[in-house]
Amino acid sequence: MGEAAVGARPRSRGVHKHVQVREYVRELIGGAEPGTPAPSERELVQQFGVARMTVRQALDALVAEGLLERIPGRGTFVAHHRVDQVPRLQGFTEEMGRRGMTPTSRTLLARLEAAGPGVARALDINLGEPVVHWQRLRFADSAPMCVQDVYCASELVPGLLEALPESLYAELERRDLEPTWGEDSVDAGVAGEQEAKLLGVAVGHPVLRVARRTFSDKRPVEVSRSTYRADRFTMWVPLTRIPQPRA
């Protein structure tokens, strides 16, 4: 019964038990083959001396991430189609790394600008406030892949222009501005003269345009426009069926 309940730890003084269990299991199955059994729930209960609900909470998170899959009556296993069940918010560096390609970049432009109407609205700042505008030509395995324009409120990222990182997202994490969610708007277009020259294609070559906003908690931290060579880049989106509202 609840008589022995301990209650939640203060966030600042200790890590929650379900987080401990979750990170332990994440580490454990880090490089494991799909299909490898994870520890059973009752095993983890023994090891950590916690209740089963706590273990389930930990495993639920890993299942939601697509790292584990449960098979009733059999056990919990490293997920087979290890693909994400949810589209990950990743930067170019991370995404190309995950595709097994080597990302590199050439900075075309990096300066302070006054926020125009679109950028100001997207970043939720006032018109004309200073923003960092960083334009890069990005390569995968040395071949041009996309042209990317990134904008951040300059106030949020002091000194960024003086020491441009390779991965913006990694840098934002270091600054405690870790992006936690975002949204892409994807459409198609054809390369203009400038884009064509940079990407190494003919004018009129099809391109995939991705407009992104990312947020750290509720605050917008970055907006970007990326133009990909359609012949080199396909976007992959996992979908989940959710009961439709009564028509």
Binding region for its own copies (CB under 8 A): 1, 26, 30, 53, 64-65, 83-90, 94, 97, 178-190, 204, 206-209, 212, 214, 228, 230, 233-245, 247
Which does residue 148 bind out of DNA, its own copies, none, counting CB within 5 to 8 angstroms by kind?
none
CB atoms within 10 A of CB 59: 22
In the range 72-111, which residues lie near DNA by CB under 7 A?
72-76
**How far is Cα 69 from Cα 79, in angstroms, rounded to an integer?**
5
51 or 211: CB nearest DNA: 51
**How far is Cα 138 from Cα 95, in angstroms, rounded to an integer?**
12
**How far is Cα 240 from Cα 229, in angstroms, rounded to an integer?**
28
Beta pairing, strands 206-216 & 219-229: antiparallel
C-alpha distances out from residue 139 to 29, 94, 116, 170, 177, Å = 32, 13, 28, 18, 26
195 phi, psi to nearest 5 deg: -60, -45
Select from 5-13, 89-97, 161-169, 228-236 the region that touches DNA (CB under 7 A): 5-13
Residue 247 makes contact with DNA by CB under 7 A: no
Tokens read off for 62:
């890993």
130 or 181: CB nearest its own copies: 181
Three-state DSSP at 233 gives coil
Which does residue 6 bind out of DNA, its own copies, none, counting CB within 5 to 8 angstroms by kind?
DNA
Give 235's contacts (C-beta < 8 A, 6+ positions apart): 186, 208, 210
State the sign of the Cα–Cα–Cα–Cα dihedral 196, 202, 204, 208.
negative
Residue 57 makes contact with DNA by CB under 7 A: yes
Three-state DSSP at 16 gives coil
Helix axes 52-65, 17-28, angle to 10 degrees: 50
Tokens read off for 106:
């050439």
43 or 183: CB nearest its own copies: 183
Residue 243 makes contact with DNA by CB under 7 A: no
In the range 36-55, which residues lie near DNA by CB under 7 A?
38, 40-43, 49-54
Which does residue 132 bind out of DNA, its own copies, none, counting CB within 5 to 8 angstroms by kind?
none
Residue 65 makes contact with DNA by CB under 7 A: no
The least CB distance from residue 29 to DNA, in Å, is 12
71 or 163: CB nearest its own copies: 71
Which does residue 159 bind out of its own copies, DNA, none, counting CB within 5 to 8 angstroms by kind?
none
Which does residue 74 bind out of DNA, its own copies, none, counting CB within 5 to 8 angstroms by kind?
DNA
- Give the binding site for DNA (CB under 7 A): 1-11, 16-18, 38, 40-43, 49-54, 56-57, 70-76
